[in-house]
Structure 1
Amino acid sequence: MPRRIEQLADEIVRLQGELDREIERRRADLGWRLNEGLLEFEHGITQRHRRLRLGARAFMARSDFATVITAPLIYSLIIPVLLIDAWASLYQAVCFRAYRIPRVRRSRYIVMDRDRLGYLNAIEVLNCFYCEYANGVVAYVREISSRTEQYWCPIKHAFAVTDPHLRYYQFLEYGDAEGYRARLHEFRQRLRTEAQDADPAAKPI
């Protein structure tokens, strides 16, 4: 990979770390923190949240007609999302074992925690469950597919790609035939090592 592209990829990782630290500072300002995987709110924050809760009946009264009428269509998407979740999990359980690639830990991508926010009513909590799960499944499947892409075809596209996964920046340049033949095995070996480092709970089987 050209040095300049490698530097830019490293800069993206550095900026992500800086963003994470800024998010942590914002959390402290809002009165909560994570302590060994558990949410902790400062004294009085939970009571203040509950005072700001809008009851389900009032929430429905404020909802516009378009929101109510489209709700069944929105929630019907849960069926294909459930199928994708199950099928992707089966796929990596079988194929990643065959490729000796560490499996993606699902719990790192599908995070359900917004129900602990006292200012959300029952309908809002249900909406959040739906969005948390659906977006988590998309992120989970993307990680599975990015590992698959690195294993089988670590080649960049000729055309610009919007928001590619992070491994993409290290892929071979489009048209680099010699590099592909010479380095495909290297990419596969690196994937096994990198995936292990990225997800300590996932072990090659």
Structure 2
Amino acid sequence: MKKIASLHGLKTETGANENVWLLLYKKGSEQSDCALENFQRAGEAAAEMKKNNVLCSADVNEVKDIHPEFGVTTVPALLYFEKGQLRNLVKGCHRPEQFNAIFDKSAATVVANGEKKPQKSVTVYTTPTCTWCNTIKRHFQENGINYREVDVSRDQKAAEEMVRRSGQQGVPQTDINGEMIVGFDKTRINSLLGIN
């Protein structure tokens, strides 16, 4: 695994490699230390299977210019770059096999005929204490759906925008291509995203 020291270093990696995974973490934080250890273990397993992924990590205590560039407000956060573009952001500590499933799902967003399905824009509004938020994020991860997470407890402007658009304060709320869904309405979410 490569240690990234700056945004410039990250751009060098994403420019030179098709699939780059970056774990942003904060050394000394229980969640981050858990994520780093499991990410390293998943990376070793992926390397043994000759998967074409470049795995990187950056400690936000030392590297200050990456997380603001991509709107990351909480760590640990796993960022997936494909051909230099940010395609997915997954937060929290996951077991090594979950990290491997995330690697596989992102690699498997190519349809059988080789063409990519157009990925709809998905934003999930969450808070750290919301259990349904974790359920909805897990549902997206299991189905290979790339999403952006916004923690409304830390972002007042985003919270106000969410309430303005849906008329509701509770989370989770999901914005799929501009359509707001309040709660974990699995049927409607699956319908909008083409999940069977």
Pick the TM interval, shorter chain: under 0.3
Greater strand share, structure number: 2
Higher relative contact order (CA 8 A, sep 6+): 1
**Whose radius of gyration is greater, 1 or 2?**
1
TM-score (normalizing by structure 1): 0.25
